[in-house]
Structure 1
Amino acid sequence: MPSYPSPIPAPIYDSDESSQHSNDSSNYLSSTFNQYTRLSYSPKFNLNTTNQILPISINFDDNEDNFININTTTPTKILNSKKSKKRKHTNNNVYEYQTPNQSPYTRRKNLDYVQQQQITIQTPKTQRRSHYKQNQSSTNNNNSSLTFSNLININPFKTKHHYYTRLVAKKQSLLIPSLKNLFIQRYEQEFHYELCLGYGEYSYVYLCKNRLDGLNYAIKISKNSLIGTCYEQQAWREICAYASLTTHENLIRYYSAWIENDGKFFLQLEYCNGGSLDELIEKNRLNNKYLNEDILQDILHQLSDVLTFMHNNDLAHLDIKPSNIMLCYNINNEILYKLTDLGHVNQISLCQIDNDGDCRYLPLEILQKSNINNLYLDKCDIYSLGLTLYVCGTNYIMPKQGNEWQQIRLNISNYLYTITQCSKQFNELIIERMCNIDPKRRPSAYEVSLIKKKLKIYFVCC
């Protein structure tokens, strides 16, 4: 019986195994059926967990089932093609993989790639999805493998970047271990309590003697546990600020810090034998005494010097007031005025305010935060220093709120009276320049230190 060419055109195969097909309709139907069965039943194979490259034998004969045999394991058909294509675990530590519906050429290409690279078969979509999970698991494993010997924090005031983005901040936060892993016991073992020097809203300051060296230290202890509270980062930043600013004589010297098992923060600081400037002002109020201009100029010179040091290190104090200025008497009865309480320190270049200081001594722009991008944090310290000097010279009690508080910040030159025991030039420097409502018109800390020298020259000439 003669054969006639089929009117149906022969299909185009993407397989390299596709040879010349006859135009016979029976051959065409049989090849179409074989191709359909190949696409409808995905191959299934078993892979051992060894790292050796295994020879793979592939059989694509029409008379046998379509499977991929590795290590002569028994082939099995997939009964349901809609099952999940994820990896399945068996009890014999053998992993079963199921490839997606592919043509013979694509299967051959993927299997060759697997054999060369020694990786598991994954579709591109599965690879993209698992890439993020692998990174997450690696970071979790790194965090879980942390021990006490390799837990080290990063000081935010010492790490310098030529640029600061959210990515840099995120990388720094990932490297900072949890403070819960840094608990140690030191206070009762190393120090002996002497007396209470003072207290604030969140902490006590005790005079303690070290059991080993026999010297006195000021130990600052938080009243309650700060772990997990909103004050945890503030206490940690104070420790980092003390550690990064330890080379100036007008700053309280920092020795060490730790966290006890109860979650309280401990700071070992220098003990100042003269008390605070606020205590001196209270004594003057009771005895009706005032500090003269020479003492006020000495305070101005020393504090402007330490503020110049801090501002050059891109840090602003933001909580300058009489209670944060300590007096330390030397052997020659010389007084050093030292700045303390660095819990509100912020970086000037970032123009960010995490925590406000005492509202009695802060300028109006930092409390309103109307234009946070144009904040001059270094000039805020100058304003607070000016009010501190005014209180030292007049024993004035600064208000916390009300009309008097607003008048000091809006019309200070007309509202406050002058310091009678001081010269006109010194009054103008404090009231009109340092406490000016416009931060741009306030002098810098370095300019204030130079002004003090000019005042000395002026008095000598007179």
Structure 2
Amino acid sequence: MSNRKRVNRSLPLMEFTDKLLTKKEVEANARLHMTCPVLQKKHFSPIGTHKLLFSTQEARILAFDKPAQLSPNYNPSIKKTYFAQMYKIQDTLGEGSFGVVYKVISRENEEGYAVKITKKAYLTKNNYEEIKLLERIGNHQNIVKFYFAWEEMSRVFTQLELCALSLGTYSKTNHSITEIQLLDILTDMAHALNHLHDRKLIHLDIKPENIMISTDGIYKLGDFDLLFDITKTEENQVKTFDITEGDAKYLAKEVLEGKVTAAADIFSLGITMLELATDLILPVNGPLWRRLRNGSYDDPCFTIVPKKLKTLMCKMMAPKPHARPKAKQILNTAVVKENLSAQLLVPRVNYYEVWRASVAETMDRDPVPVCINAQNEMNMDANMDIETTPCVTPPRKVSRVVIYNM
């Protein structure tokens, strides 16, 4: 009988090491130990498309402090929802514990938008509070724009600005983000947080997946499901959070104790910048998680962080909330001021366009039909009743086949 210890290979690699690992290292390790992939179940959206099409309930605008109205082209007399009458669904952009976000095209102006739909099929007071807070945010170039909201079918629908992609998606294909780009991200997010905090609002869910990139290369803060109003009375300031695995990577320690201040956003932005600068896989819990919150930055991965940026990051991740700089103070630091001054002389690089061009180069090419049917006859699939597209036998032997990898 073998004395070798069994290892649960389904556990993440972070469970077996006390070293912070980069995403690139884990990907390389996965390729070395690649096994047959587990067949994934087909994902179905929790809100079936057919359920969004027909309803006898008339849509109602949700507007409190910001004037808004439904489209005059909406016809409430037909058994078709406002959503179905006004939009065409293109894709599912994301899904969280609070709702589903769809990429849609407006039937009126053919413009693209993101529409968030609450997941639970009933309305609560919190749904209306969220709309009030979104109205309070107002417009800012570094915050995903809120247009208006309405309710129908016992759900809340929110129309938002459609961005190109998130930094979470971007960082999965770009393992080396430049110092200049990091400064652009930090600058834009500091502007966004300064705007929110001036309005006594805290985001509480800052992470790469919630930082969007617009087609013109501007970084925008989005996803306001946990938006918190700090003007609430003292007893309401202690809040219970439904922390998911991804959220815990970016949370300040004091938030888990119910101590909510604007400094929590500063910590989350600091550790987000650390992840983007180092390509680290941040721990969800355990000793590594605590080490990042106790002011210990001695891991070799930290050596690749630009020196100027590292000093500011460490201050943003200070263990004590009062020791962290405010968003306005971040904007007044020398490193951010230098970046803003440089943009006056040379326009910033649109890294979305750079990313899109690099992805386009790796896109699969159209396949060239090649067959070994010497008679050039129509191919028949034994399991189908229809004929497949015929192909032409090459005039001479094929000496080389080129496969384009994604």
Same fold (TM over 0.5): yes
What secondary structure is seen at the aligned counterpart in 2 of 1:266? strand
Moved more, 449-458 or 212-221: 449-458
Aligned length in residues: 264
The residue that corresponds to 1:378 in the other structure is 262
Change (3 A) 1:234 1:290: farther
Residues 424 and 149 of structure 1: CA distance in aligned 2, closer, same or farther (over 3 Å): closer
| Residue aligning to 2:256 | 367
Using the TM superposition, give the Cα deviation of residue 435 of structure 1 relative to its aligned residue in structure 2, in angstroms.
0.2
* CA distance, structure 2, for counterparts of residue 151 and residue 255 of structure 1: 12
What does residue 405 of structure 1 align with?
289
Distance 1:268 1:408, change over 3 A: same
Please tell me whether the aligned partners of residues 346 and 354 of structure 1 are also in contact (alpha carbons under 8 angstroms): no
5+ unaligned residues in a row in structure 2: which ranges?
Answer: 1-57, 67-79, 343-406
Alignment partner, residue 308 of structure 2: 425
Report the equivalent of 1:168. none
Q: For the structure 1 residues 292 and 359, does the alpha-carbon distance in structure 2 shift closer, same or farther, using more than 3 Å as the test?
A: same
1:216 matched to which residue of 2? 112
Distance 1:253-1:396 versus aligned 2 partners, 3 A rule: same
Return closer, same or farther for 1:407/1:416 CA change in 2, 3 Å cut-off: farther
Instruction: Describe how 1:200-349 pairs up with structure 2 within 5 A.
Output: 200-227=96-123, 232-261=124-153, 263-273=154-164, 275-284=165-174, 289-330=175-216, 335-349=217-231
1: distance between equivalents of 2:59 and 2:169?
44
RMSD over aligned CA atoms reads: 2.8
Once the two structures are superposed, what CA deviation does each residue of 1:175-210 show, in whole Å capped at 9, x if it has no partner? xxxxxxxxx941111111112222223322111111
Q: Return the TM-score normalized by structure 2.
A: 0.59
Q: Tell me: higher relative CO, structure 1 or 2? Use CA pairs within 8 A at least 6 residues apart.
A: 2
Structure 1 equivalent of residue 278 of structure 2 = 394
Would the aligned equivalents of 2:59 and 2:81 in 1 still touch at CA under 8 Å? no
Structure 1: which 5+ residue stretches go unaligned?
A: 1-147, 159-183
Letter of the 2:142 partner, please give it. Answer: N
Partner residue, 1:199: 95
Partners of 2:125 and 2:303 in 1: CA distance: 40
Q: How big is the shift at 1:440? A: 1.2
Is the CA contact 2:136–2:199 (under 8 Å) kept in the aligned structure 1?
no
Report if the CA contact (8 A) 2:183-2:336 is conserved: no
Percent identity, aligned pairs only, is 29
Q: Which has the higher helix share?
A: 1
Rounded Cα–Cα distance in structure 1 between residues aligned with 2:212 and 2:60: 37
Contact 1:217–1:269, Cα closer than 8 Å, also in 2 = yes
Q: What is the alpha-carbon distance in structure 2 between the residues aligned to residue 400 and residue 264 of structure 1?
A: 32
Structure label with greater radius of gyration: 1
Q: Using a 3 Å threshold, how does the CA distance of structure 1 residues 153 and 458 change in structure 2: closer, same or farther?
A: closer
Contact 1:359 1:367 in 2 (8 A): no
Opposite residue 105 of structure 2, the aligned amino acid is: K
